Structures are given as structure tokens and as C-alpha cells.
Amino acid sequence: MDVVAFLPRPLLSHLKVVLRFDHELIPAVSWAELQSIVAHQGTDIVVADPAATGTIELETLEDLRRRYPSLPVVLYTQLSPGSIKAIVRLARSGVEHVVLSRFDDEPSRFLELLESIPINALGDRMLQELVGPLAALPVTVVRAIDQLFRSPARFKNAHDLAAAAGMNLRTLYRNLEPAGIYSARALVVSARLLRAYAFLQDPGRSIKDVAAKAGYHSPWQLSQQLREVTGKTAEQVRREVTQEALVAMLGEQVRRRRRK
């Protein structure tokens, strides 16, 4: 999980303790840098204090919610009359998670909150789509596939999936095929496309931005993979394809037996 934070020094130091070495923390030094990191780097969660500069500032966080609605935002702040007003106003923009310093930021509790936020809800839907085949797989393979759909950026190809399952690629296929999954590559492609689709729903991202954030070498490569599955370009998928339809199409791709 990549956490981008704009916080006063004491709160940032505490967040480092909360995240330990399990997750990456990317600190921003200004609201402008926070916006730049979100726009151009991989980001799973934003943690910010509306009073990070010493005065309450809400415009950047409201703009992030408008432009990137798929990106979770967590407010981490001191309790004060000003922060309460900020929390109420930002709630209208869709900010759901609030952590108050010295009240509910005990490290294990704070970490539990961050890890419970559904970063990739489409990945969860895909796992439900594949619940039948997954039930027939060894635990190590199920865990690897679960990791794939929850953190697709960590998997570049089918070999990475096999390594996560603790086996070579041939052994992975020997496990997958009896369960009705005929392509480890299709699993990896599906996870990446779901991540790209989530980014496509953000009006603040261009197709070029989406391709880069989802790990594609070019917008053309993203469009080609989407066309293989849906018959549509990335821009058409953005406008015309629902989440449910995409998950169903990807599930069919994963379960389709290829001709030898």
C-alpha cells in the first residue's frame, strides 16, 4: 500500500510508526506537491491534515475528491473547532475517514483502519466472480491470486504470480487448469485492467495518465488489451462499460480454454 501524506511533522512521524515497514509512505511538503504526487505517481491512499500549513485549507482536498473519486482520503488532524468544521465540510465531498490525534490514532488501530479501506473494490468483485474456481485451488495459489487482485502493481507477468504462490509457472498451470482457470497471464492482465478501469473513472486523469499509473508502456498497449476483452477502446470503455460488465467479461477470459 502506497500512502501519500501531507501532515505536520509530529503527525507525520506518528504515521511512520503506524505504517512500519509494511507499507510505503510518500510525504508531501506542500498542497501543490500532494496534487502532483497523486497525478503522476502510484497512490493508494491520501492521509492529510487540513491544517497542515498552520491554517485550515480545504480546496486541495475538495479538488482531489472531484478529480479522483476512486482515491480514498483519510483526514488525520488535531481536535479543534476549526478541524470539526473542516471535517463536516469535507464529508460533503465524500471524505469518509477521520482519525483524531491522541484520541484514536493508537498505532494498531490506525493501521487497521488504513488496511481495511477498500483500495481496489473491483479486485474484490473479481475475486467473487472467481469464487468457484478459487475454492478448488490450493491455499498458496488462492493467496497469490488474492494478492494479485488487491495489489496488481506488484505483478508484472505470470511468472510473478507463480513466484507469489511458491512454485514455477508450469506447476502453477497444473494447479489452475483442473479448477477451470486456463490462463495465468489472463489473471494478471485482468488485475491490471481492473486497476486501469478504476483510474478511468477519475475525470482528472487522461488516458495517458491512466496507462502510466496502471503500469502500461503506452496508452496504445492499454487500449489493445481493453479491445481484446471488450471490443472497445479505452475512451469507449470509460464512457460505456459498467463495472459489472467488465468484471463478467474478464471472468470469462480467465475461464476460457485456449486452443492448443
The residue range of the domain holding 106 is: 2-116
What CATH number corresponds to the domain at position 97?
Answer: 3.40.50.2300
pLDDT score for 42: 66
If asked whether residues 169 and 241 sit together in one domain, one would say yes
* Stated pTM of the model: 0.70
If asked whether residues 128 and 249 sit together in one domain, one would say yes
If asked whether residues 130 and 85 sit together in one domain, one would say no
If asked whether residues 195 and 250 sit together in one domain, one would say yes
Task: Find out whether 108 and 84 touch, Cβ atoms under 8 Å.
Answer: no
Q: Structural domain tally of the chain?
A: 2
If asked whether residues 13 and 73 sit together in one domain, one would say yes
If asked whether residues 238 and 168 sit together in one domain, one would say yes
If asked whether residues 176 and 246 sit together in one domain, one would say yes
Going by pLDDT thresholds of 50, 70 and 90, the confidence category of residue 118 is low
Going by pLDDT thresholds of 50, 70 and 90, the confidence category of residue 131 is very high
Does the residue 141 lie in any domain?
yes
Specify the pairing of strand 97-100 against strand 2-6.
unpaired
What CATH number corresponds to the domain at position 139?
Answer: 1.10.10.60
- The three cell numbers of residue 72 are 480514498
If asked whether residues 93 and 154 sit together in one domain, one would say no
Going by pLDDT thresholds of 50, 70 and 90, the confidence category of residue 51 is very high
pLDDT score for 119: 66
Going by pLDDT thresholds of 50, 70 and 90, the confidence category of residue 70 is confident
Residue 234, burial from CB neighbour count under 10 angstroms (0-12, 13-18, 19+): buried
If asked whether residues 100 and 143 sit together in one domain, one would say no
